[in-house]
Amino acid sequence: LCWRDFYHQVHSATPSFPREDYRPRRDRWRNDPEGLQTWKDGCTGYPIVDAGMRQLAREGWMHNRARLITASFLVKDLYIDWRLGARHFWDLLIDGDMANNSGNWQWVAGTGNDTRPNRVFNPLLQAHRFDHDGTYVRRYVPELAEITGGRVHEPWKLGPERSGIDYPEPMLDHAEAAAEFRRRRA
């Protein structure tokens, strides 16, 4: 509630907040409709990201941690404008709040009130830390339901066990994408 109230105050003082960077970064976002759609569909090849996006599509909601992970992936791995992600969330969230949604997206994008604009969430570390046994992923990514334990977070490492699993390879290498993001922001 504190964040919500805070972002309402920011929005009240800065009416352009949902449309414009609070702290302009001069980012030259990638125009990647296919990447955006892959993210929206929950088919990135990163199970924790895909679980969040599929939960959002199915239930109109997801935990704040999943919101941070999925938003960071869009903005910092895919380097797609935060406003496109904010709009998608706004369209689907049953608890949507314009000021809070915009504020949190700007926080993740590093264009908001945060002092760490280059923070990048590692989807694998986040998955192992917050869904260590893979329960969340198996619930929303049924094609991975038979993979036991935390191995569900990296299905590309399964080898022959992966045979017959219809799940995409990672659409990008997170370490490379994070390094590229930091290079662009330097």
Query: Which range, of 29-43, 74-88, 105-119, averages the lowest pLDDT?
Result: 105-119
* Secondary structure of residue 26 in the 3-state scheme: coil
Q: Which alpha helices (H) appear in 2-148, and where do they start and end?
A: 2-13, 33-41, 47-59, 64-72, 82-92, 98-109, 123-130, 135-140
Q: Which of 34, 147, 35, 42 is nearest to 92 (CA)?
A: 42
Q: Which of 46-50, 131-135, 163-167 bottoms out in mean pLDDT, i.e. has the lowest?
A: 163-167
32-186 CATH choice from 3.10.129.10, 1.10.579.10, 1.20.1250.20, 1.20.1090.10: 1.10.579.10
Q: What's the pTM value of the predicted model, to 2 decimals?
A: 0.94
Residues 6+ apart with CB under 8 A from 59: 94
Tens digit of each residue's pLDDT (9 = 90 or more) over 102-132: 999 999 999 988 778 899 999 999 999 999 9
Burial (CB count within 10 angstroms: exposed 0-12, middle 13-18, buried 19+), residue 61: middle
Domain boundaries, the chain: 32-186
